[in-house]
A and B are shown apart, each in its own frame.
Chain A
Amino acid sequence: MTLNYIQNNKDNIFKEWLDRLKEDSDETITNVILDQNFETYGRELVELAILKISGKQDEYERQSENFSDRMVNLGWPLRFVVNALDIFGDVVFDEMVKDKYIRQENELKVMHDLNHWLKAMNSEIINDYTDSWERTIANQKIALQELSAPLIPVFEGITVMPLIGMIDTERAKQIMENLLQGVVKHRSEVVLIDITGVPVVDTMVAHHIIQAADAVHLVGAKCMLVGIRSEIAQTIVSLGIDLNRIITKNTMKSGVEAALEMTKRKIVPLEG
């Protein structure tokens, strides 16, 4: 009966639903509603609820996943979707009362049915949302890992590791691994670590760099730290960090020149 009622009064319910959404919305939600495509998507959400209520579970699941993905992409807050569903339930009930479909003897049943459907739909939508977020985070993690500690051979025996951004424990581990593997693989004599793009060098970052340099020494190569900006140099001194065991240069250019010298080569201009 409830299903029949909703299907017959779909337009009316949709209009009422939209009005109520506008009534009790805050700024984030108003932004969603002001979107010109909102009506289309809103209708879809209502159709989805009807699918759910009519018990076409397969069809519903297919559309719901698709719908959630799009909502996440559009930046609809989860709070909004959940709230919108809640309101949908209220609207249906209130309209049914208004049209005298609900009498004392079936009131509880209608309420129970509505609750039952919408609750299930709610948890499914939350699941889809979190799935989508988790996927995004997992992908970003992989992307970050790929960027985290690249080792580039530039000359015979000389490799460079440019570091950009924050260095956390996970990344420090990767830096160490990639450095040691790379030194062996490229038969490096000198490795340059470039920290031009590292915003803050605190004791932990310094500690990891010192450890990496020590490890590089152990496998028979030399480690050079380049790209130390003047403000970083001053904070390192204030912190009282001893980097004397590592060769340091202020730019990558002077680092490469020093590395060439250490391997008994130099860059000369062509004659003629």
Chain B
Amino acid sequence: MDNQSCVKIINEWDIVSARQLGRNVAKELGFGTVDQARITTAISELARNIFLYAGQGQICIEKLYENGKTGLRLLSIDSGPGIKDLRQVMEDGYSTSGGLGAGLPGVKRLMDDFQIDSSPGEGTDIRAIKWLR
């Protein structure tokens, strides 16, 4: 599909290419610098989660046109160990890796719409949308 492009996340440098892709698409859609920074930061968090917890997966960026609105959808897909307690990971300050624990709740705040699906042993699927205002 022309509206969607994906980056495989296998090593730490792939995070940079995912970010670069997101920034380019955001720029193309007409997002301002602040929103570009929000989108790239969100991609960075999601891609790093894939790298740290799932080992590998992919980040997809999709252009959205709905009801006259333009937006950018982020998809983060992996088949890693999954998340046991979704409510817990969405709490600020919760981290299993000694990090700041601001990643996922942070992404939710950076984007307009946030959905997470995960089952232990099967992987995690995150969708987040930013609308152009």
- Within the assembled complex, what's the spacing in Å between the Cα atoms of A169 and B99? 12
- Within the assembled complex, what's the spacing in Å between the Cα atoms of A207 and B36? 22
Query: Interface readout for A181-215 with B: 1 if CB under 8 Å, 0 if not?
Result: 00000000000000000011111101100100000
Do A203 and B37 have beta carbons less than 8 Å apart?
A: no
Do A204 and B48 have beta carbons less than 8 Å apart?
A: yes
Answer whether residue B110 sits at the interface, using C-beta atoms and an 8 A cutoff.
yes
* Contact A234-B48, Cβ < 8 Å, known A203-B102, A239-B109: no
B31 to chain A, nearest CB (A): 11
Do A238 and B12 have beta carbons less than 8 Å apart?
A: no
- List, in ascending order, chain B residues with CB within 8 A of A134's CB: none
Do A202 and B45 have beta carbons less than 8 Å apart?
A: yes
Do B12 and A232 have beta carbons less than 8 Å apart?
A: no
Do A241 and B102 have beta carbons less than 8 Å apart?
A: yes
Query: Interface readout for A88-129 with B: 1 if CB under 8 Å, 0 if not?
Result: 000000000000000000000000000000000000000000
- List, in ascending order, chain B residues with CB within 8 A of A231's CB: 33-34, 36-38
Do B105 and A201 have beta carbons less than 8 Å apart?
A: no
Interface of A, secondary structure class, is: helix
- Within the assembled complex, what's the spacing in Å between the Cα atoms of A166 and B37? 14
- List, in ascending order, chain A residues with CB within 8 A of B48's CB: 202, 204
Query: Interface readout for B3-36 with A: 1 if CB under 8 Å, 0 if not?
Result: 0000000001101100100000000000001101
Do A234 and B38 have beta carbons less than 8 Å apart?
A: yes
Instruction: List residues of A (74-88) whose CB comes within 8 Å of B's CBs.
Output: none
- List, in ascending order, chain B residues with CB within 8 A of A168's CB: 12-13
Answer whether residue B71 sits at the interface, using C-beta atoms and an 8 A cutoff.
no
- Within the assembled complex, what's the spacing in Å between the Cα atoms of A166 and B34? 18
- List, in ascending order, chain A residues with CB within 8 A of B45's CB: 202-203, 239
* Contact A240-B34, Cβ < 8 Å, known A200-B40, A203-B100: no
Do B103 and A203 have beta carbons less than 8 Å apart?
A: yes
- List, in ascending order, chain B residues with CB within 8 A of A241's CB: 100, 102, 106
Answer whether residue B113 sits at the interface, using C-beta atoms and an 8 A cutoff.
no
A144 to chain B, nearest CB (A): 11
Answer whether residue A230 sits at the interface, using C-beta atoms and an 8 A cutoff.
yes
Do B100 and A238 have beta carbons less than 8 Å apart?
A: no
Answer whether residue A235 sits at the interface, using C-beta atoms and an 8 A cutoff.
yes
* Contact A240-B92, Cβ < 8 Å, known A168-B12, A200-B44, A202-B44: yes
- List, in ascending order, chain A residues with CB within 8 A of B110's CB: 235, 238-239
Answer whether residue B56 sits at the interface, using C-beta atoms and an 8 A cutoff.
no
- List, in ascending order, chain B residues with CB within 8 A of A239's CB: 41, 45, 102, 106, 109-110
Of A168, A201, A202, A230, most buried by chain B (CB within 10 Å of CB) is: A202
Q: Please, which residue of chain A has its CB at the minimum distance from the CB of B40?
A: A200
- List, in ascending order, chain B residues with CB within 8 A of A232's CB: 37
Do A240 and B109 have beta carbons less than 8 Å apart?
A: yes
* Contact A169-B12, Cβ < 8 Å, known A238-B109, A239-B109, A240-B92: yes
Do B38 and A240 have beta carbons less than 8 Å apart?
A: no
Do B36 and A203 have beta carbons less than 8 Å apart?
A: no
Q: Please, which residue of chain A has its CB at the minimum distance from the CB of B107?
A: A239
A interface with B by C-beta (< 8 Å): 166, 168-169, 199-204, 206-207, 210, 230-232, 234-235, 238-241
- 15 A-B pairs besides A201-B41, A202-B48, A240-B102 with CB distance below 8 A are A168-B12, A169-B12, A200-B40, A202-B45, A202-B103, A203-B45, A203-B99, A207-B99, A207-B100, A231-B38, A234-B34, A234-B38, A238-B41, A238-B109, A239-B109
> What are 5 of the A-B contact pairs (CB < 8 Å)?
A166-B16, A202-B45, A207-B99, A232-B37, A239-B102
Counting from the closest, the 4 A-B pairs by CB-CB distance are A239-B106, A231-B37, A202-B44, A231-B34
